[in-house]
Structure 1
Amino acid sequence: MAIEAGTKKVHLPFPSVLLLGFLGGAFISIGYLLDIRVVASLPHEWGSFSAFLGAAVFPVGLMLILIAGGELLTGNMMAVSIACLAKRVNIAQLIKNWFWITISNFIGALFVAYCFGHLAELTTTGPYLDKTIASAQAKIEANPLAAICSAIGCNWLVGLAVWMSYGAEDIGGKILAIWFPIMAFVAIGFQHVVANMFVIPAAIFAGYFNWGDYFYNFIFVFIGNAIGGSVFVSAIYWLSYRRELALDSHSQIKGH
């Protein structure tokens, strides 16, 4: 399923790539916005339990992407990579897909950060501003090695969420497959390149930090997410099951 999904992704019409990529960035950002709105005004004494509550609602973003429809860079880092390992996709197609999904995810995330966060003032006032700034600052201040390692952990879990959702046969199964790994990465505090496309610009629009801070963070989180999805999920499962996956891929090609 993952190989087939990754193959389909690189053959989407270009307008669909841009539109679905916009939705992917927007949906993840809406999940993050929901997290902020739930957590920001909770008592400080609740400690890590408040982080769990925010993590519990964040997965709505990936649920919308995988059930309603959308393209997400971190998911493609897993799916397109394993399609490439199966020789259904070449490196040029992989790079092209990652590039345009990155751009369209960024546009979708900026839209939510500016329209809902800034213009609707959902991240610019009171405890919501404080939470947005604190979240962005924690990501920006991570040193490069910490950011890369954190991002590896993130997309190991996100890749697994997408991988398991492909095996679910109904919406309820997909929701369960998505919820646990995504809740885990958010509660742990791992860095997600598309989530960062929302929260750091939201803080910038509020007058904090600058675009240099954002792009410096982006480089290391992108690298870590790519390793997490393509190595820790795609490559490991490909090496473990390559004979079965290759036979399945070959039979699908013959069937067409």
Structure 2
Amino acid sequence: MAYYPPKKIAQVAIEAGKTKTELPLPQMLVLGFLGGAFISIGYLLAIRVSADVPHEWGSFASFLGAAVFPLGLILIIIGGGELLTGNMMAVPMAFLAKRVTLSRLLHNWFWITISNFIGALFVAYFFGHVVGLTETGPYLEKTVLTAHAKVDTAFWPAFISGIGCNWLVGLAVWLAYGADDIGGKILAIWFPIMGFVAIGFQHIVANMFVIPAAIFAGELTWMDFLRNFVPVYLGNAVGGFVFVAMVYWIAYVSRSSVPADK
């Protein structure tokens, strides 16, 4: 499997971030909708796979859910879609390289946030609520317990959890940029995404699915969602911007990363 070294990945990420900010708004909204929907489908699959596992299996149930959740990002990277958490790494790479302005970065994040949310709500309402895939038997219990665990987390733990999540999600996208074939991209995505889900870190777009799914089931409120949204969003932003984009920009792009002439 062909792959790029990190310095080349940095250049690919910069160009990807620049391209994302140049998308026409209708295209950005459609791809953002797909991004939110695909992540939600991955989460729905994780719930359906893990909710009915015997209690005696212990943490293996969490692993089963984590093992299938990467479907969402695989669909986005290979099939096409725009995901906020991935853009929190790629667009800052272009910003730090002075290829995009701060206003274009914020414009991209704003519209991808909105369109990801619409895509996630679509899956939560129509597949989860109308079809009943998150509102029957053990699937309802799994959805509600998961959503409660997220909204019951205090601000700072949720914020730090968000950092951990998007450190790994940003790395998944970064590694996918480094693969030159579909098989390599799938493997590059699978391990970091499986890892963040198995650990239990909080992902803002995934939360846009599971918390509304619990709301549609009558178990939580939109104020619960908002209280969770703020710290997780900020944590994801720090995880992608600082722990991936800035770190690798310093290491591979900035003037300090270029060896001085002897």
Q: Is the 8 A contact 1:86 1:246 kept in 2?
A: no
Q: Residue 220 of structure 1: SS of its match in structure 2?
A: helix
Residue in 2 aligned with 1:115?
Answer: 126
The structure 1 residue matched to 2:229, chosen from 218, 222, 238, is 218
Residue in 2 aligned with 1:153?
Answer: 164
The structure 2 residue matched to 1:21, chosen from 32, 53, 78, is 32
Tell me how far apart the structure 1 counterparts of residues 256 and 178 of structure 2 sit (CA, whole Å). 14
Q: Percent identity?
A: 69
Shift of residue 129, structure 1, vs aligned partner: 0.1
User: Where does 1:83-98 land on structure 2 (aligned, <5 Å)?
Assistant: 83-98=94-109
Q: Is the 8 A contact 1:37 1:128 kept in 2?
A: yes
The structure 2 residue matched to 1:73, chosen from 80, 84, 90, is 84
Q: Is the 8 A contact 1:31 1:58 kept in 2?
A: yes
Residues 71 and 245 of structure 1: is their aligned pair in 2 closer, same or farther, counting only changes over 3 Å?
A: farther
* AA in 1 matched with 2:65: G
Tell me how far apart the structure 1 counterparts of residues 257 and 23 of structure 2 sit (CA, whole Å). 23
Residue in 1 aligned with 2:135?
Answer: 124
* AA in 2 matched with 1:77: M
Pair 1:229 & 2:234 matched: no
The structure 2 residue matched to 1:169, chosen from 180, 196, 201, is 180
Residue in 2 aligned with 1:31?
Answer: 42
Residue in 2 aligned with 1:253?
Answer: none
Q: Residue 160 of structure 1: SS of its match in structure 2?
A: helix
How many residues align? The count is: 247
Q: Is the 8 A contact 1:29 1:109 kept in 2?
A: yes
The structure 2 residue matched to 1:56, chosen from 67, 70, 74, is 67
Report the TM-score when normalising by structure 2. Answer: 0.93
Tell me how far apart the structure 2 counterparts of residues 51 and 225 of structure 1 sit (CA, whole Å). 22
Between structures 1 and 2, the one with greater helix share: 1
* AA in 1 matched with 2:175: M
Structure 1 residue runs of 4+, over 6 Å off? 244-247
Q: Is the 8 A contact 1:201 1:214 kept in 2?
A: yes
Tell me how far apart the structure 1 counterparts of residues 256 and 126 of structure 2 sit (CA, whole Å). 44
Tell me how far apart the structure 1 counterparts of residues 170 and 95 of structure 2 sit (CA, whole Å). 15
Pair 1:138 & 2:149 matched: yes
CA RMSD in angstroms, aligned pairs only = 1.2
Shift of residue 37, structure 1, vs aligned partner: 0.1
User: Where does 1:175-254 land on structure 2 (aligned, <5 Å)?
Assistant: 175-243=186-254
Q: Is the 8 A contact 2:250 2:256 kept in 1?
A: no
Q: Residue 201 of structure 1: SS of its match in structure 2?
A: helix
Shift of residue 47, structure 1, vs aligned partner: 1.1
Residues 245 and 3 of structure 1: is their aligned pair in 2 closer, same or farther, counting only changes over 3 Å?
A: farther
Note the residue ranges of structure 2 that are not aligned, 5 or more in a row: 1-11
Q: Is the 8 A contact 1:81 1:234 kept in 2?
A: yes
Residues 232 and 68 of structure 1: is their aligned pair in 2 closer, same or farther, counting only changes over 3 Å?
A: same
Q: Residue 142 of structure 1: SS of its match in structure 2?
A: coil
Deviations along 1:82-102, one digit per CA (max 9) or x if unpaired, are 100000011000000000000
